[in-house]
Structure 1
């Protein structure tokens, strides 16, 4: 019953949630120029990432470097994520939306991260940002000396790069939530690649690092999507408990329901303790409402789950392929030295060679090194970090 309710919660979010962004009561001056970002080299915000980018040579190169013989031919799922015609009994695609399956039934695919394997822990994650409200949450977390994981939408990072860099500089995980928040199993192969590629790319331009982890919107993932993500060096991070905090964005009366969700997670502490583990909890920083709810519940959470931590702290390893230096200002970072991804499949690397003009399967293609597809050269990374620091200084002077 619990699994069924979790799936229904994700599906309900898809069908009834308002648009991702609700940040209409605050304003932050555009800062893409400060970071050297070129919006014209990215997809339209909130649109499926391949739209208008079908001839982008870097995207096509990434696509063609995937060994498509290792990607299952799972059928594209209905756009409304209806599961009525899916064979949940045999679950051939390990489709989370239908069965909550997280262990791929195909060899060589990265299994999903599903729990915080530390007793007394609460895996703290926030989705759908950044927005101009996010610094309020960063400030609260800083006061509590608390680290969190932010699964950021690529379009939002492009719109609010200062906020994204602010989270990174505070030592939080800044990971991918795809480009536009569409259900990945409902997309074509090229669309899936684009959703992952552009989100990783913009995060790399802003922070200077390439991410290892992503969260599929609505939790919607199957073996086809996992296979593509694995070859891009990415592993999915799911959740055990959903607060449904986004519901208060357009309906303040939903606060009672959301509070009950938080309390239910607290009531399950003994269940998690018996497993020497803790939940990974889904929350949001896409408006003031969810942020305020978390602030209101934080003290209660700490009493029951004393080890509130980021996902990478749960895993005991960094979230990036590059090291992040620590400093005395509290920006400890969560990266380690580059590691080999869980899968033995190599990831692709963007170069400047002329690619094919159309995406075609390329079974013989091999990557040059085990890195994110959006990895830039060291000079570009340094420029992104330096520009980001300047932008952050300007932002906090204004704020």
Structure 2
């Protein structure tokens, strides 16, 4: 954990309290059978000690899901998945996977040739977000509401996110959480907290690989089993997703669309995930945040808002979010989840959970309904409480601003994963070069 990030926040008092909490360990016995009990743990070592959650353990033991942290495939015993895949095959365009596995799985497309006309709207090639295949909606890369920041975090649920989620709760701030399926299976009670706190959950694939490198069946499985895992753990099925490293083309979009998932990208990359890789430092990340804030102050988003890529990857990325929250709130009029920004009031397949509209959210109603009780952890644990309905003060604050954040090139792989399903902070940078056809 990076101490400097915790003790240099603009919101000095709040961050000092948060920093203190990071170092506070509890001597009393911890309840690791319910979401409420798990949410009370604020010592990272205790949070990240593995535990068993009966529904997940039973499902994995019964081979109802692919092995975690491996590229997902459709299980031979899963007739439901097979039938669903067969039903959407006619909607999948004849676009070949990019590159050659295994190198392409981590974003190495150095020996792959691709036309300069970008026929597949491949984001990794030129950040294309308007599909060229008829019938596909554009990716959400900016939000339509002026002076608004679409607020979200990738790569969760992180096992040590309680202090960060406490901070969001204390500020009545909701966000969109892009969850990795394997992380959900590793840390199910942490995933439940997102629902309990009324955040929006979206898919971030099963194993966090470059999606355009996968076969059709693998792309489908990466989506399908993440959706099923989130449903098993939280009781809700997402209708949105974000591609790891932004790697998406019209083939992957078509499969996502057929499964009811809208594609969400970003306009700016904080590069918080790259600290320690290729000489990227904490100061670089600070500058990216500050550039975004300057842009907002200078009126860059006076006609439409924006999205910056940020993560709950590790304590550094989460502490950066805490550090710059007050400045973002002052620079943007509104900070809202992606679904709120686009008036997606029904964020899940299940209809017993609603998000507020944009107007409701900025008027102070940040929670509409939480969908009832969370799934039970089994006979040894009581049922967790879902989000309660209610109104409270919103997140609006007036301000003008400006600045520039570096746009992402999508040219590096995310950090790799260890056996516990946690992202390894020091993973090697993997670059690629795309050759153009003559």
TM range (shorter): 0.7 to 0.9
Structure 1 position 56 matched with structure 2 position 78: yes
State the SS of the aligned residue for 1:273. coil
Structure 1 position 75 matched with structure 2 position 96: yes
| Distance in 1 of aligned mates of 2:133 and 2:235 | 33
Task: Check 1:334–1:316 CA distance in 2 against 1; reply closer, same or farther (3 A cut).
Answer: farther
Q: Report the counterpart of residue 117 of structure 1 in structure 2.
A: 144
Structure 1 position 385 matched with structure 2 position 375: yes
- Could you give the per-residue CA deviations for residues 101-160 of structure 1, whole angstroms, max 9, x where no partner exists? 111111122321121111121111100111211222110000111000000000000111
In structure 2, runs of 5+ residues without a counterpart are: 1-43, 356-364, 386-438
Task: Check 1:186–1:173 CA distance in 2 against 1; reply closer, same or farther (3 A cut).
Answer: same
Structure 1 position 143 matched with structure 2 position 135: no
| Distance in 2 of aligned mates of 1:231 and 1:304 | 38
Structure 1 position 194 matched with structure 2 position 221: yes
Q: Map 1:222-301 onto structure 2 (within 5 A).
A: 222-248=249-275, 254-269=281-296, 270=298, 272-274=300-302, 276-301=303-328
Structure 1 position 314 matched with structure 2 position 341: yes
**What's the CA shift for 1:200?**
0.5
Equivalent pair of 1:31/1:160 in contact (CA under 8 Å)? no
Q: Report the counterpart of residue 127 of structure 1 in structure 2.
A: 154
Q: Report the counterpart of residue 419 of structure 2 in structure 1.
A: none
Task: Check 1:37–1:116 CA distance in 2 against 1; reply closer, same or farther (3 A cut).
Answer: farther
In structure 1, runs of 5+ residues without a counterpart are: 1-22, 336-380, 394-399
2:367 to 316, 329, 332: 332
Q: Report the counterpart of residue 87 of structure 2 in structure 1.
A: 65
- Could you give the per-residue CA deviations for residues 202-259 of structure 1, whole angstroms, max 9, x where no partner exists? 1111222221100011111111111111111111100111111113378997111110
Equivalent pair of 1:248/1:290 in contact (CA under 8 Å)? no
| Distance in 2 of aligned mates of 1:202 and 1:138 | 21
| Distance in 2 of aligned mates of 1:243 and 1:74 | 31
| Distance in 1 of aligned mates of 2:196 and 2:118 | 42
Q: Report the counterpart of residue 47 of structure 1 in structure 2.
A: 70
Equivalent pair of 2:374/2:384 in contact (CA under 8 Å)? no
| Distance in 1 of aligned mates of 2:253 and 2:369 | 24
**What's the CA shift for 1:27?**
2.4
Q: Report the counterpart of residue 411 of structure 2 in structure 1.
A: none
Q: Report the counterpart of residue 351 of structure 2 in structure 1.
A: 323
**What's the CA shift for 1:57?**
2.1
| Distance in 2 of aligned mates of 1:105 and 1:334 | 37
Task: Check 1:267–1:334 CA distance in 2 against 1; reply closer, same or farther (3 A cut).
Answer: farther
Alignment root-mean-square deviation, CA: 2.9
| Distance in 2 of aligned mates of 1:92 and 1:57 | 34
State the SS of the aligned residue for 1:284. coil
How many residue pairs align between the two structures? 320
Task: Check 1:383–1:150 CA distance in 2 against 1; reply closer, same or farther (3 A cut).
Answer: closer
Q: Map 1:361-372 onto structure 2 (within 5 A).
A: none
State the SS of the aligned residue for 2:300. helix
| Distance in 1 of aligned mates of 2:333 and 2:199 | 18
Structure 1 position 33 matched with structure 2 position 54: yes
**What's the CA shift for 1:46?**
1.2
* TM-score, length-scaled by structure 2: 0.67
Per chain length, whose mean CA-contact separation is higher, i.e. which structure has more relative contact order (CA < 8 Å, sep 6+)? Answer: 1
Q: Report the counterpart of residue 415 of structure 2 in structure 1.
A: none
Equivalent pair of 1:95/1:221 in contact (CA under 8 Å)? yes
State the SS of the aligned residue for 1:317. coil
Q: Which has the higher helix share?
A: 1
